[in-house]
Amino acid sequence: MQKLIYILGIVGCLLWSVTTYANDRIKQIENQLSAMTAEMPGLEEKVQMSVSGVSIQEFMRGIADAHKLNISVDPAIKQEVVNNFANATVSDVLIFICKEYELSINFIGSIMSIVKYNPPQPIVVETPKKELQINYDKNGDKLSLDLSNDSLETVAKLITQKSKKNMVLASGVTPKLVSSYIEDMPFDNAMEKFGIANDLSITKTEDGFYLIDKKIVTNENNNNKTDNRNTNKANKINNRNSGGSIAEEFSFNAKSNLDISVFGSDVQIADVIKSVANETGTDYYFVSDIKDKTTVNVQSTTFQGLLENLLQGTELTYEYRDGIYIIGERKTEGLRMTKVIQLQHRSVEKVTENIPANIKQNVDVKEFVDLNSLILSGSHPQIKEIELFIKQIDKVVPVVLIEVMIVDYSNKRANSTGIEVGLGNEPAETGGKVFPETNMSLSSSSINDLIESFNGYGILNLGKVTPNFYVNIKALESQGILNVKSTPKLATLNGHEATMSIGNTEYYFEQTNNVITNTSTQNITTKTYKSVNADLSITIKPFVSGDDQITLEITVNQSDFTEKIEPGAPPGSVSRDFTSYIRVKDQEMVLLGGLEEKATRESGSGVPFLSRIPIIKWFFSSRTKEKSRSKLNIFIKPTVIY
């Protein structure tokens, strides 16, 4: 008794000291702040501040900035301040914060560091273990016990140590507390009375071991025995057919509707449900005749889990409503349900097509585009399976941003030379260009003046030309370079096409004459302008894999105009197409080239035979030579955006 009073006194002193230390801590902070007031007058300034949900770091930073103080707050402190301070000094606010939120202040020169307060750990005084009063007289083989709510495991261990007789505890009896008082009784008799006093069964084996177990209570009712060992209820059901023979047999162990074990082969589902429900006191109702059989082997399941195992793979289902399990066929009215499933990350369109046919059989599935949802109507198990499937495919679909850079380079060079001589319908005039290109027309008077200048030299004497005579001299070289660059950006969902088209349209004139003959002949002329398109179109279809690799299906179509075969005719066209499959990393650029075209064209006209003689041919012919080269380069850079 004195020892217990001593221990209680020590504990009381410790609690008093902890409380006193906490009060002294606040007093020490207050004294320290008062001592620093002379050096830091901001501690005595008034605070006007109202905050709500502000972190203590931001709160202290505001006070420090406003009053010229050096305050540091430990970033590990996760505390929000909700207070309204009016006409309170900075010192009072700091003391209040430390006391309210279990904080402390470390003073380092003029710096105040606010940290989490760690109270001193009280000294734990272990209560001395109770000494069991167990005595064994080896000479007389007698045992004495003085027990009061002591652990059976400890008692058995101490008896074994003192008597050298082994005690074996059965499963489930270890935590039992026992009480008994026996004085100098023979060992076997003492153990027997010890067991009776504590509702235990103690049996001595042939090899001298003592087995300690809970006492088995056997009751006989209508020739059926119920073994209540460990509070388990074991039931065995025999179902007989019309001939009286046993058709099937199953057994179950039902502690409650949360711990059910059933074992049976080829048993009626209805019989299993009835037996287990009656044993556990569960309310149920059959809305249709149940004739299905099953083989079941489940352990430690709930009544709901048992139903799910029994009814799986059958046309039966259940619904729990108002504390009653309603069981019957899935198509039965009352067991069908309707549910709206809203998709979070993808469009509801075409989702119905992707649901496997076997799980949506006998389930009505409708798309409700307004809410991006599916409306399901059918049995509960099938709707649950469809809902699980939709959750698996309702993932965030990545968006692919595709940056396209198109560089179209064209270089063209043409040479046109020759002399043209002829008679016009009317007199020509002298004129044209000499530099940088030569394209001159000489009239008959200019030519006659030129002839007069040559006449008189030796025997050379040329006559004059007619007034409509003309001479055209052409010497022309042209060069053109075209560099077109465009940088469109496209965005599309994973697995969907993105298409871009850049084009040009030209028109040509088409005239149609229709002659209608009746009493008189009529000629109807129809004039129409028709269009011809030349464009560059790019179609890209991205596929994003799990490691952010992107597979691109790229199709490029390019068409362009060529020269008309004659004025008024539609322009010619040339096209270049290619399709490519490539794999690139996220934000990696790839170059698609090779769309290059080279063309060389020569044409001319002149006097037969003379137009083919070197040097002389330049005076008796007109020639045009043209070279062109064009190249198309396409840069593509995909970026995955979630």
pLDDT tens digits for range 308-356: 888 887 888 888 888 888 888 877 766 677 889 998 888 888 888 888 8
Give mean pLDDT, residues 8-34.
Answer: 63
Nearest to 117 by CA among 32, 11, 29: 29
Quote the number of domains for the chain.
5
Would you say residue 380 lies in a domain? yes
Would you say residue 469 lies in a domain? no
How big is the chain, counted in residues? 642
Model confidence at 289, in pLDDT bands (50, 70, 90)?
Answer: confident
Q: How many CB atoms lie within 10 A of CB 181?
A: 11
More confident residue, 66 or 216: 66
> Is 39 in the same domain as 160?
no
Given 88, 116, 144, the domain boundary residue is 116
Distances (CA, A) of 593 to 409, 587, 596, 635: 12, 19, 8, 9
Domain assignment of residue 569, given as a range? 482-641
H-helix or E-strand containing 11?
helix 2-35
pLDDT of residue 541: 92
pLDDT, tens digit, 9 for 90 and up, residues 587-596: 888 887 656 7
pLDDT, tens digit, 9 for 90 and up, residues 368-405: 888 889 998 887 778 888 889 999 888 888 889 998 88
Model confidence at 484, in pLDDT bands (50, 70, 90)?
Answer: low
Residue 69, Cβ density class (10 Å: 0-12 exposed, 13-18 middle, ≥19 buried): buried
Would you say residue 358 lies in a domain? yes
Model confidence at 126, in pLDDT bands (50, 70, 90)?
Answer: low
Computed over every residue of the chain, the mean pLDDT equals 78
> Is 607 in the same domain as 488?
yes
pLDDT of residue 225: 36
Question: Quick check: helix, strand or coil at residue 273?
Answer: helix
pLDDT of residue 230: 36
C-alpha–C-alpha distance, residues 347 and 342, integer Å: 10
Full DSSP string of 89-115: EHHHHHHHHHHHTTEEEEEETTEEEEE
> Is 488 in the same domain as 620?
yes
Most confident range (mean pLDDT) of 124-138, 207-221, 484-498 is 484-498
In the predicted model, is pLDDT for residue 125 greater than 80? Answer: no
Give mean pLDDT, residues 131-143.
Answer: 87
Give mean pLDDT, residues 253-261.
Answer: 82
> Is 365 in the same domain as 315?
no
Nearest to 635 by CA among 598, 596, 588, 597: 588
Continuous H helices in 289-433: 303-311, 351-354, 380-393
pLDDT, tens digit, 9 for 90 and up, residues 52-98: 778 888 888 888 888 888 888 888 888 888 888 888 888 888 888 88
In the predicted model, is pLDDT for residue 459 greater than 70? Answer: no
> Is 620 in the same domain as 519?
yes
pLDDT of residue 254: 82
Would you say residue 413 lies in a domain? no
Model confidence at 457, in pLDDT bands (50, 70, 90)?
Answer: low
Model confidence at 229, in pLDDT bands (50, 70, 90)?
Answer: very low
pLDDT, tens digit, 9 for 90 and up, residues 512-567: 877 777 777 777 778 787 888 888 888 999 998 877 789 999 888 878 777 777 77
Helix axes 90-100, 56-67, angle to 10 degrees: 170
Model confidence at 34, in pLDDT bands (50, 70, 90)?
Answer: confident
Distances (CA, A) of 475 to 55, 435, 447, 463, 478: 86, 10, 19, 28, 10
Residue entry with tokens 């429900």: 277
In the predicted model, is pLDDT for residue 195 greater than 70? Answer: yes
> Is 2 in the same domain as 105?
yes
Model confidence at 6, in pLDDT bands (50, 70, 90)?
Answer: very low
pLDDT of residue 221: 39
In the predicted model, is pLDDT for residue 228 greater than 80? Answer: no
pLDDT of residue 242: 38
Out of 140-144, 495-499, 523-527, pick the least confident: 523-527
pLDDT of residue 569: 77
Give mean pLDDT, residues 451-476.
Answer: 69
Given 371, 393, 415, the domain boundary residue is 393
Looking at the chain, the whole-number percentage of residues with pLDDT higher than 90 is 2
Model confidence at 226, in pLDDT bands (50, 70, 90)?
Answer: very low
> Is 344 in the same domain as 324?
no
Would you say residue 459 lies in a domain? no
> Is 193 in the same domain as 325?
no
Would you say residue 404 lies in a domain? no
C-alpha–C-alpha distance, residues 242 and 147, integer Å: 61
Would you say residue 310 lies in a domain? yes
pTM of this prediction exceeds 0.75: no
pLDDT of residue 235: 56
pLDDT of residue 458: 55
More confident residue, 54 or 456: 54
**Residue type for position 116:** K
More confident residue, 228 or 234: 234
Given 198, 214, 230, the domain boundary residue is 214
> Is 596 in the same domain as 629?
yes
pLDDT of residue 241: 43
Model confidence at 141, in pLDDT bands (50, 70, 90)?
Answer: confident
Asked if residue 199 lies in contact with residue 239, where contact means CB atoms within 8 angstroms, the answer is no
Question: Quick check: helix, strand or coil at residue 326?
Answer: strand
Would you say residue 93 lies in a domain? yes
In the predicted model, is pLDDT for residue 273 greater than 60? Answer: yes
> Is 325 in the same domain as 344?
no
> Is 157 in the same domain as 203?
yes
> Is 182 in the same domain as 311?
no
pLDDT of residue 542: 92
CATH number of 153's domain:
3.55.50.30
